[in-house]
Structure 1
């Protein structure tokens, strides 16, 4: 028996908190389909990759923030057109205010939903960078 690398629908439900019906709808509609094994008829298994899980969780978080499925489809289309990405939801740094979705490009935010390509004013604090810098400075301070 060949072991498949990836995650079943039941595992994806637990890890992403997205219901099976939503996963199946997103697959059938072509929004987010499993990349390891796609369903072929009733009762067939879908197998998702880790990258699929990331894209699904990002989509779920954007939905929870108020972004409609129709808008998410547009975000994926715009990001694919701008960057030629296969999985833009798991390859880009995205920010939302519940009405628009922005892509972080360097120090700028660019709209990818309401006015694609238009910049938006924002101040982004990279918490990871702050923590890393503080840890480094404390370590230097303690060793001095």
Structure 2
């Protein structure tokens, strides 16, 4: 992925507040992985995968799942290859979160007789693609050797304003 998303764009796409985004980044639940270090003078950027995880966290929170269980689910999803994510359905009984990768696994969980709900990551993925397609992203491609990086020009202007 050669695009990164600033915090406000990630918030809009995932349906979370900036306060939630900041808290989750500080507590390392979900943070910006494209440009993670805010102390470098560059604006942190979130990847598509980061924003997908933000949206999943929001949905799990909205259903009443504990932050501890959500953290476990997110860490598990981080370990999965990005190409696997659209094929996963997260199921929960309100206490635990389970990963299902086939319809038979979903049916097996449902046969327990307990109330369950599911989040199909493929659907969340498609929703997110639509939302991010209408929001601004930042290209991460390297500039040509004789072409200055657009961020360098902005940084130069800021320095001149502060020192001038």
TM class by smaller structure: 0.5 to 0.7
For residues 4 and 92 of structure 2, what CA distance do their matches in structure 1 show? 29
Partner of 1:13: 11
Q: Mind listing any 5+ residue stretches in structure 1 that lack a counterpart?
A: 111-118, 127-144
C-alpha displacement of 1:37: 0.8
C-alpha displacement of 1:7: 0.9
- As a proportion of its length, which structure holds more helix? 2
C-alpha displacement of 1:51: 1.4
C-alpha displacement of 1:63: 0.7
Q: TM-score, normalised by structure 1?
A: 0.60
Q: Compared with structure 1, are the counterparts of its residues 44 and 28 closer, same or farther at alpha carbon in structure 2 (3 Å cutoff)?
A: farther
C-alpha displacement of 1:72: 0.7
With 68-77 and 50-59 compared, the bigger mean Cα shift is at 68-77
For residues 97 and 103 of structure 1, what CA distance do their matches in structure 2 show? 12
Q: Mind listing any 5+ residue stretches in structure 2 that lack a counterpart?
A: 121-164
Does residue 1:121 correspond to 2:116, yes or no? no
Higher relative contact order (CA 8 A, sep 6+): 2
- Aligned residues of 1:63 and 1:69 also touching (Cα < 8 A): yes
RMSD: 3.3
For residues 101 and 76 of structure 1, what CA distance do their matches in structure 2 show? 10
Q: Secondary structure at the match of 1:94?
A: strand
Does residue 1:85 correspond to 2:80, yes or no? yes
- Aligned residues of 1:65 and 1:97 also touching (Cα < 8 A): no
C-alpha displacement of 1:109: 4.1
